[in-house]
Structure 1
């Protein structure tokens, strides 16, 4: 089974995960850039959180690709999750101490209903105004969601997360994705589409078939002037996309 998995990984399975990481990293960087811009504008500060939420969602997807949930079992699905996560972390050179692994703020934002529960369930209700003045009366802190442009932090629930380490790591991951899968960062949506065309891996369109008596190429004589395989054709298309003036390259957001 492990040999089959190694073959699957090398034959194109990795491209699916790299394409998804590229797409989500591009979303996250674009969203955090928008969130920081809006948060610095006093007239539009309230519009920043939807962008923050998009950033948190996209970076959480990458985090789960690298450190999957429900991966501790002995069943086939759990073992595959451990296998692909280990391969991705190794090939993308992501350390166990990466900022992408910390999910406290992302979890607080995702489970904000539970943070509200903690307040409204446990807060002591005053019976009179004098109760509020009593020394033993404790007002529980309300959960909060915001982006602090001065410190470059996201706040959710009662947790804080610095943006700069996440942005730095996302940009580093994108560079490593391009190294192991050239052309993968040119256009995230097209790359994902092409990844689906690459699986299952197909033989060359121009590879001769073998018969007991002689090789056969369907009676065609094909010169080597153009792409000689599906892989070469795909890489040609990706290369042309990357050279477009309006190529959708992920931004280098600043924290």
Structure 2
């Protein structure tokens, strides 16, 4: 009897596709949701890695140009009022407000320093929004995917017990497929959640460092402009 049961179990297809096809509709929906969330999370992760590397390269390149000794007016004329780089946008925001603060007679409008600071702060906030875009989705996937997978597992096990009750047979050939289908949902939940959590922490730290660099540059630039105002 045991030999025949093992032989029957060995004939069952336990491939991922077969487990998905045999699962109930509810568990299939859970698996599809988790698979889509996983692919979406990886798309965000890869996109952010590329974006952050480009932002760091652009920041290093602009820092070299900014501290090269070239007059700031000439540098601003070169990059324009609406550049593509993130650091350049912050610099352009400050320089644009600096020029707008000059009167026709060459004097400065009162409160120029505060307006320049606010202009650069707004530019930094826009860049921070771009850098952090999508990270909230990673956090959501990391915190909810295991529970969604667990729901699929509980539902699948419930269905498996129902099948056992209908068949009134608890041998391995009856029990194993239902349990395997149910556990696949939990596995997919973990597969989606673990990379999302790991890369959310890493990308959040990278974003904070890049934004911190922008804020440091804005402070240094504001100090230079303030020194010129005082002189």
TM above 0.5, yes or no, is no
What TM-score do you get using the length of structure 1 for normalisation? 0.33
What TM-score do you get using the length of structure 2 for normalisation? 0.36
Larger radius of gyration: 2
